[in-house]
Structure 1
Amino acid sequence: MVFLGHFRVETSLFDSQSRNGLHSAGDKTAPSLFQPLCKGDAMPLDDFKPLTIEHKDTFDAFFREDPPRISELTFTNLFIWRHKYRPVWCRWQDCLLVLFEPEGQAPFGLQPIGSGDKAKTLGALEDSLISLSSNAVNLVQRADEVFVERFIDPARHTALFDRDNSDYVYRTTDLIDLPGRRYHRKKNHLNRFLKTFAFEYRPMDMEVVECFLDMQETWCQMRQCSEHPDLLSEDYAVYQALTHFEELGYTGAGIQIEGRIEAFTLGEMLNPETAVVHIEKANPEIPGLYAAINQMFCQRAWAGVPFINREQDMGIESLRSAKESYSPDHLIKKYSIRLKG
């Protein structure tokens, strides 16, 4: 998943016609190769079921029991990207197992979550994927370093470092205070914005959500997102996040200037030490606005949380430069797990 790993999403684009068309298609998701709870020692493919909003409580219970480190493993991220990645899931021997079957791509799994035997679950996943597709190169993608060290079998598996999808993690106090020479330019951008613009910071509510949707529709018409599949898919994920704001229960905020929302962001707790920012958008024509929405959201929503995960750069050089410019404390290194031979 990307999964909204963009440090900068400078336009949000989804017109009403495209939204309605993709929404209809999403409600009639292409038949899954998998179907619904995994039983016994085997893992029948027909025990999997497609992800829906009604599954949030189940996923949240697993995440509380076994707090994740990678940004992919929140229900919000899995849900809003479901039309692209077509996730299916089951519970198997006290583990939560999620598989992706993106259209036109080989299926793969995420690392198991829960109190069960994860090494055994990985073996069962291996059997399922092999029986499903001879093209299933990766058993698991986006696995964190701790999972790789503890649960893969070096005699059977190879773990390949995935730099493009590794998560950037920052100290919250750094993003709030912007201390020292390394943040000098960021602080200048923020101060320029504060001195230049009369603005209002708006915590997210349903009124603000409607403003975000209006902004996206206008930008979509400008950028012709319906002609660009990647933009269409990304923007639909944002649309899903906004239209399911109350059910998903994340935290968000926007910056309003002259009665118009010009930036917004959303995030949630990933684990007891870390919040994850899924989306950050701003009008790139307003100087300092990105610096402002970043700093204000951290200060007003996450001041009591030690770390902020701002997701991955996907190998996009401009995103990598932007994320590194904020001096991350560390990376959550991720790996693709493959069978040897």
Structure 2
Amino acid sequence: MLDISDFKPVTLDDRNFFKSFYERFPIQHSDNTFTNMVCWNDYAQYEYYTNNDALVISSTIENKTSFRGPFGIYDDNLLKEVLKLAKKTNHPLAYQIFDEETKARILALYPDINLSSDRDYYDYVYKTDILSKLPGKKFLNIRKHINSFKKRCNYTTEPMTSESVQDVIDFFFKWCEWKECKKNPIMNYEKNATIYSVKHFEQLGLCGLLLKNENEISAISIYEELNKDTIVIHYEKGLPDCEGNYKVINNEVARLVSGKYDYINRESDLGIDGLRIAKMRYYPEFFAKVYNIDANDIPEI
């Protein structure tokens, strides 16, 4: 019988395991990436269980644990064991679904179970070709902002390297001072997660693009391969030194990876109105959806 004691913490040393597993069993949602788990560990306390090419993940936030999976090769018995653990949590987010295959398996076993759609955590997925070219009338205003930026700002782009790590960390501290991260616990966790990713970007296999204005970092994008068709943008930040830098870094990354990847996953909007409006302006191709199951809605198994 599966028990919470069977799980072990996700650490940086687990990178090779997750890389190998996800190469065999690709994922669609950013929340399950090894990078997000290890970088946000101080906040979410990720743990995992693996057996016979099956993977189960748990996360604990403010002493409330939720489960997801199994991913990979698994059978209904293991899924039932995970749901049993989830039921014990008494948590509204006891079990989370990040792919349509798991959703179908659960509904096949329990057709009447209540699944609640979690729009705030839908990942936005765009066609790379669209983000790189921004064609047609619907992108006219975005193109105008980009052209205005290029006329007003003396900018260059360059990849993030081991030599630029400290400059990038300094940039994030500036960004956090501007955004007053200390007043917002989640933003403070995000700062810590971002800096962790920068300090370990080679170990994590991350890529980064720097947008510089007058030779100072104005914006940055940190990303990686999510699957063979898709990259995921983990962090995209800009300072208020030259308006339009967010649109430019977005476009520059899309142009950089165009021809290599068909899609760009730009993660979720977390239910933040301004962020949702900004992401919808780019017309996502589709969403990587999320569903939750309340512990009280899980049947006795």
Smaller-chain TM-score bracket? over 0.9
What SS does structure 2 have at the residue aligned with 1:108? strand
Deviation at 1:155, TM superposition (A): 4.2
Residues 83 and 298 (structure 1), Cα distance of their counterparts in 2 relative to 1, 3 Å cut:
same
Alignment match, 1:122 = 79
What SS does structure 1 have at the residue aligned with 2:32? coil
Deviation at 1:65, TM superposition (A): 1.1
CA distance in 2, matches of 1:192, 1:306: 28
CA distance in 1, matches of 2:111, 2:134: 46
Equivalences for residues 43-192 of structure 1 within 5 A = 43-104=2-63, 106-117=64-75, 119-131=76-88, 133=89, 135-152=90-107, 153-155=109-111, 157-192=113-148
CA distance in 2, matches of 1:223, 1:268: 25
What SS does structure 1 have at the residue aligned with 2:28? coil
Residues 124 and 304 (structure 1), Cα distance of their counterparts in 2 relative to 1, 3 Å cut:
same
Alignment match, 2:152 = 196
Residues 303 and 198 (structure 1), Cα distance of their counterparts in 2 relative to 1, 3 Å cut:
farther
**Which blocks of at least 5 consecutive residues in structure 2 are unaligned?**
none
Contact 1:95 1:115 in 2 (8 A): yes
Q: Deviations over 1:64-117 (max 9, x none)?
A: 11101111121111111111000111103421111011124x210123221222
What letter matches 2:225 in structure 1? M
For the aligned residue pairs, the C-alpha RMSD in angstroms reads 1.8
Residues 224 and 112 (structure 1), Cα distance of their counterparts in 2 relative to 1, 3 Å cut:
same
Alignment match, 1:334 = 290
**Which blocks of at least 5 consecutive residues in structure 1 are unaligned?**
1-41
Greater mean alpha carbon deviation, residues 302-311 or residues 82-91: 302-311
What SS does structure 1 have at the residue aligned with 2:114? strand
Alignment match, 1:246 = 202
CA distance in 2, matches of 1:156, 1:136: 19
What SS does structure 1 have at the residue aligned with 2:30? coil
CA distance in 1, matches of 2:92, 2:178: 39
Deviation at 1:253, TM superposition (A): 0.8
Contact 1:269 1:276 in 2 (8 A): yes
What SS does structure 2 have at the residue aligned with 1:107? strand
Q: Deviations over 1:286-337 (max 9, x none)?
A: 1221111000011113442111111111111111100000111111222113
Contact 2:86 2:95 in 1 (8 A): no
Alignment match, 1:208 = 164
Greater mean alpha carbon deviation, residues 175-184 or residues 268-277: 268-277
CA distance in 1, matches of 2:166, 2:259: 27
TM-score normalised per structure 2: 0.92
Alignment match, 2:181 = 225
Deviation at 1:57, TM superposition (A): 0.7
Give the total of aligned pairs.
Answer: 296
